Structure 1
Amino acid sequence: MVPVANIMGIPFPKLTMDQTLSKLSEIVEQNRSSLFHVITGNPEIVMRCQHDAGLRSIVDEAGLVTADGIGIVLVSRMKGGHLPERVTGCDLLIRLLETGNRNRKNWSFYLLGADEETSLKAAEAIGRTYPNVTIAGRHHGYFTPEEDEKIVEDIRRAAPDFLIVALGAPQAELWIHTYRSRLNAKIAMGVGGSLDIIGGKVKRAPKVWQDMHAEWLFRLINQPSRWRRQLILPRFAVSALLYRER
């Protein structure tokens, strides 16, 4: 049993990135009958779970919740939980691609999200950089509810090892949960704006910013329109530190 750190009632397993990769590698090699849902838990999701019972239920039922952001890690340490490191959706996706490419297991990925041009560029970039993995299919993220059935059927036919959903939080989590019994994928996870980064639409913070845990600041400087979303960070820090875990 993996020990967990509770953040506002959400259990985050104390897993490093390497341990998370090992766990998912084992799962994808199994003949599972049900989809394994990975939620990259950021402060926005944790805060929303406090008043959204439906999302909280989805998080509670997930196979794995990772610490998506340094804020989650720092709060856990301040409260004695000591999560070892952050495991973000973008980093996890890239490491999965690297692992699949290196081990030549022909892992397959279905990409759902981003605009059409970015989706295509992301698929092309993955094909060039990781030739030993397969893009089983893709679809942009600007679809209507009426198109859900067509997309679900496309994913079902593709039967990917990994369904990568870049619809933003919590839309990705809700969409995966709604159709999880019909997706015919082994693992599904929301990855925020990762396809925008892989497709070259958004520039990721240089490694020095990442090492300083200031990636959020780099994004805010380069995308000032995000300031409203960033307000969640101080609210989360205060709320989480004052929260009395049951």
Structure 2
Amino acid sequence: MTEDTVSILGVPFSKLTLEETTLYLAEQIRKERSGLFHLITANPEITLASQTDELLREIIHSADLVVPDGIGIVLAAKRQGDPIPERVTGYDLLLRLLEKGNEQGWSFDFLGTDEQTSMQAVEKISYKYPQVKIAGRHHGFFDAEEELQIITEIQRCGPDVLILAMGAPYSDKWLNRHKAELAGVKLVFGVGGSLDVISGKVKPAPAVWKKLNLEWAHRLLFAPVAKGQKSRWRRQAALPKFVYRTMIRR
């Protein structure tokens, strides 16, 4: 964990900008490590969930870096008088690392989302970033036997970056269970629905929505919800609680 952090409801958020985070992670990929580097992209919903989910709280505190994936985190830090310069979303970070990976010839493995979305996303990544090595990919709907095969294959390939697209906090809990087995991977982090956007399944938020920090509203209104996931309207119900805990209650 970098020393320059701010605690929001006990979660130690990095104060690095997107560019600084990209460079910091590139350094972690280049250096020799005894184990993988675990990055968590945490939004207000995950931050609030960590208050009652002891395992999630432990995972967050054992992670190597937690970045602020949401304008609510930035506003809460400002309210505390210890500002964070900007959001660092999983989607933006993935694109930056793919750009770096294209320059450096890094290898990526993708685990999660449905088969069609996974295939289409990786095809588009291969086309746009031809120097990125695709170590492997697999959809996120697997049983125990398939899981063992997936882990064995990741161990065999030893990718520089493993991208998990199984939803939060499931992705981080899955990694927590298999962290020792995946020690040969250099960097691992969850990206939520980023592969849905890259594949074209979900349209990215227009620039004006991004400028107003309203990507969450765009997803809420227009992005489909995967089978088995909670309604986005139900998930957004956590936001008023987050606002109360961080900005109103003293």
Supply the RMSD in Å over aligned alpha carbons: 1.4
Q: Which residue does 2:168 correspond to in 1? A: 169
Give the TM-score normalised by the residue count of structure 2: 0.93
Match of 1:237 in 2: 243
Q: In structure 2, list runs of 5 or more residues that go unmatched.
A: 225-230
Q: How does 1:20-169 map to 2 (within 5 A)?
A: 20-101=21-102, 103=103, 105-169=104-168
After the TM superposition, which parts of structure 1 deviate over 6 Å for at least 4 consecutive aligned residues?
A: none
State the shift of 1:211 in Å: 1.0
Structure 1 vs Structure 2: percent identity of aligned residues? 50
Asked whether 1:207 is paired with 2:207, we answer yes
Amino acid at match of 1:228: R
* Structure 1 residue 52, shift from structure 2 partner: 1.1
> Structure 2: how far apart are the matches of 1:126 and 1:235?
37
1:18 partnered with 2:19: yes
Q: Show CA shifts across 1:130-163 (max 9, x none).
A: 1111111000011123422111111111100000
Letter aligned with residue 61 of structure 1:
S
Give the gaps of 5 or more residues in structure 1: none
> 8 Å contact 1:21–1:95 — kept in the other structure?
yes
Alpha-carbon distance between aligned partners in 2 of 1:192 and 1:223, rounded to the nearest angstrom: 12
Say which SS state the counterpart of residue 180 (structure 2) adopts: helix
Shift of 1:207: 1.6
Contact 2:110 2:162 in 1 (8 A): yes
Q: Secondary structure at the match of 2:136?
A: strand
Deviation at 1:32, TM superposition (A): 0.8
Q: Is the 8 A contact 1:164 1:188 kept in 2?
A: yes
Paired position in structure 1 for 2:227: none
Write the distance in 1 (CA, Å) between the matches of 2:210 and 2:5. 25
What whole-Å deviation, never above 9, does each CA across 1:153-178 have from its counterpart, x for those lacking one?
A: 11111100000000001100001111
Do the aligned partners of 2:202 and 2:223 also contact (CA within 8 Å) in 1?
no
- Within 2, Cα distance between the matches of 1:47 and 1:228? 14
Query: Does the Cα contact within 8 Å between 2:35 and 2:186 map onto a contact in 1?
Result: yes
Once the two structures are TM-superposed, the CA of residue 203 in structure 1 deviates from its matched residue by: 1.0
> Displacement of 1:113 after TM fit?
0.7
How many pairs were matched up?
A: 242
TM-score by length of 1: 0.94
